[in-house]
Chain A
Amino acid sequence: MAETTVASKTVKFIVSRQDTPESKPYTEEFEIPYRPNMNVISGLMEIQRNPVKADGSKTSPVCWESNCLEEVCGACSMVINGKPRQACSALVDQLEQPIRLEPMRTFPVVRDLVINRERMFNALKKVKAWIPIDGTYDLGPGPRMAETKRQWAYELSKCMTCGVCLESCPNVNDRNSFIGPAAISQVRLFNAHPTGEMNKEERLEALMTDGGIEGCGNSQNCVRSCPKGIPLTTSIAAMNRDTTKHLFKKWLTN
């Protein structure tokens, strides 16, 4: 008896589909059996197993990306009921139904819910979000980092390049070359590092080019949306301060 009641409970999904990067998106509805503690990924897996729409007709399985399933890789980011977030940590029990799934269209859509986040990795390259220590000989240990600094810098290091902050930003669009909040916060992270600090001007100058930090319009959606709770607007303002100082320093010393 108990089993039949559980089995009769279903979950409704409305999924945005897109067959190729250029084709038009359309939606399909699915109704799948409910299981306790489902997340959006397990719902998508069920659709993959049995790609039948709510009206009973067959369709192709929905494409999506996921890896870690514990909200640390960022691969499964998509727009769920209007909000960009990770599908693996989106629990069905906490979502309003029907659950609407869409790709984060700020990025080029590859297929269905799969997007290409290459621009984020290009942004990290542009601002040199790394610490250059490679060489032909051992440079020995670097300077120590103060514990107080390590504590807040650690928070910034949690960024998983998921793209949610770019999706929420009204200034990241195809009319605007804004680099997005994530990379700006990474500049703050690497500039805070005692060894990374040695190249801080390079990173600041990268932020002072076209589409750099000036693209921020202070909507502050990013800080509200970041699943890792990264203080993005504080990072942006701190980099505003550092780039401003750098600008005047350059004017006065060159």
Chain B
Amino acid sequence: MKGNSYFSRKLHSLLGIIPLGGFILVHALTNYQAFERGPEGFANGVHTINSLPVLPVLEIFGIYLPLLFHGIYGLYVAYQSNSNTGRFKYGRNWAFTAQRITGVITFVFVFWHVYQTRIQVYLGNITHEELGSTMHTIASSPVMFVLYVIGVLSAVFHFSNGLWAFLVSWGITVGPRAQRISSYICMGVFVLVSALFILSLVAFSGDEFKEAANAALTWTNIG
């Protein structure tokens, strides 16, 4: 098995961007519908995703398997690293440590979040149409809201900084100038995508989604 760790690490880096990074972007934009167009917009977004062809295949090979590989191999990568930010207080070194910490936080957060939403749909406890109200229940609890903000910021930082590292690890940005400019772009991505997620969390906690939740509740009661 010559070059196995080289291969695994390359795959780890690739999966972080394609498909996982792509998924984060789609997820951020779908959620943002909640802020821009309210419960109906969000429901439409969810509906669009659910009407994709071969959805289970997409989910398994496009999300679950890459996520598991990236997450578990990533934990191993984090375990293999020391943090020496005390001795070397450089921005990139902080980012190195932050990449590993946010990776672990994201790992926990994603499992928990998937359990609260997608798994509940699988279990039949809620329907896709009720995801908006599920998110309202979560986002209107102050503790959950803060935890979600931490989780979301970690995930988005991990993605944005990982994008920067991806460009280096694949030999796309080679010189210091290229790497500096790409770090500005990646910081921009971090701010933008974080804003999308946080605004949608704010929208989810709003009254509109409460009414939607009530409506859903009444609806189930009648049903």
CA distance A50 to B12 in the complex (A): 56
| A6: chain B residues within 8 A (beta carbon) | none
In the complex, are the beta carbons of A238 and B174 less than 8 A apart?
A: yes
With A82-B87, A168-B84, A244-B170 known as contacts, the answer to whether A214 contacts B179 (CB < 8 A) is: no
How far, in Å, is B145 (CB) from chain A's closest CB? 33
Once A82-B87, A173-B82 are accepted as A-B contacts, the answer to whether A241 and B174 lie under 8 Å apart by CB is: yes
A221 within 8 A of B: yes
Is B10 an interface residue, CB under 8 A from the partner?
Answer: yes
B142 at interface by CB-CB < 8 Å? no
Q: Which residues of B from 139 to 177 have beta carbons under 8 Å from A?
A: 164-165, 168-176
A219 to B3, CA, bound (A): 23
Asked if B214 CB lies within 8 Å of chain A CBs, one says no
- Residue contact B170 to A218, C-beta cutoff 8 Å: no
Chain A interface: which size bin? 35 or more
For A213, what are the chain B residues with a Cβ–Cβ distance below 8 Å? 6
Among candidates B2, B80, B90, residue contacting A220 with C-beta atoms closer than 8 Å: B90
Known contacts A175-B80, A209-B2, A212-B6; A218 and B165 CB within 8 A of each other: yes
B residues within 8 A CB of A239? Answer: 171
Select from chain A the residue with minimum beta-carbon distance to B176.
A234
Tell me how many residue pairs across A and B have CB atoms closer than 8 Å. 112
A51 within 8 Å of B (CB atoms): no
Q: Are B82 and A243 in contact (CB under 8 A)?
A: no
Scoring B residues 202 to 213 as 1 if CB is less than 8 Å from chain A, else 0, what string do you get? 000000000000
Task: Tell me whether A225 is interfacial, beta carbon within 8 Å.
Answer: yes
Known A-B contacts A205-B3, A214-B9; A170 and B81 likewise in contact (beta carbons under 8 Å): yes
What separation, in Å, do the CA atoms of A209 and B173 have in the docked complex? Answer: 23
0/1 interface trace, chain B 67-101, chain A, CB 8 Å (1 if under): 00000000001011111100110101101110100
Partner of B81, one of A211, A217, A243, A247: A217
| A83 interfacial contact with B, CB 8 Å | yes
- B5 at the A interface (CB under 8 A): yes
User: Quick one: closest B residue to A205, CB to CB?
Assistant: B3
Q: What 1/0 flags go to B158-200 for Cβ under 8 Å of A? A: 0000001100111111111001000000000000000000000
A234–B175 alpha-carbon span in the complex (Å): 5
Considering the chains assembled together, what is the distance between the CA atoms of A176 and B76 in angstroms? 10
Given contacts A170-B82, A213-B6, A221-B84, contact A244 B96 (CB under 8 A): no
Sort chain B's interface into a size bin.
Answer: 35 or more
Q: Is the CB of B171 within 8 A of A224?
A: no
B3 near A218 (CB under 8 angstroms)?
Answer: no
Among A173, A221, A240, the residue within 8 A (CB) of B168 is A240
Across the two chains, which residue of chain A brings its CB closest to B91? Answer: A220
**A-contacting residues, B9-66, CB 8 Å:** 9-10
**How would residues 162 to 188 of chain A score, 1 for a CB under 8 Å from any chain B CB and 0 otherwise?**
000000101101011000000000000
Whole-angstrom CA separation of A216 from B5 in the bound complex: 12
Find out whether the CB atom of A247 lies under 8 angstroms from the CB atom of B10.
yes
Q: Tell me whether B174 and A218 are in contact (CB under 8 A).
A: no
CB distance from A177 to the nearest CB of B (A): 8
CA distance A231 to B174 in the complex (A): 11
- A170-B83, A214-B6, A218-B96 given; A238·B88 CB < 8 A: no
Check B4 for interface membership: any CB of A closer than 8 A.
Answer: yes
Is the CB of A233 closer than 8 A to any CB of chain B?
yes
Interface pair A210/B4, CB less than 8 Å apart: yes
Of all chain B residues, the one with the shortest Cβ separation from A171 is B81
User: Which residue on chain A has the smallest CB distance to residue B164?
Assistant: A218
Within 8 Å of chain B (Cβ to Cβ): is A208?
Answer: yes
Q: List chain B residues, Cβ under 8 A from A241.
A: 170-172, 174
Subset of 28 A-B contacts with CB under 8 Å = A82-B87, A168-B87, A170-B81, A173-B80, A175-B79, A175-B80, A211-B5, A214-B5, A214-B6, A215-B5, A216-B169, A217-B81, A217-B99, A218-B165, A219-B90, A219-B92, A219-B96, A220-B90, A220-B92, A220-B93, A221-B93, A224-B88, A233-B168, A234-B174, A240-B169, A241-B172, A242-B171, A244-B10
**Given contact pairs A173-B82, A213-B6, A231-B176, a sample of 6 additional A-B residue pairs in the complex whose CB atoms are under 8 Å apart:** A170-B97, A207-B6, A237-B179, A240-B169, A241-B170, A245-B171
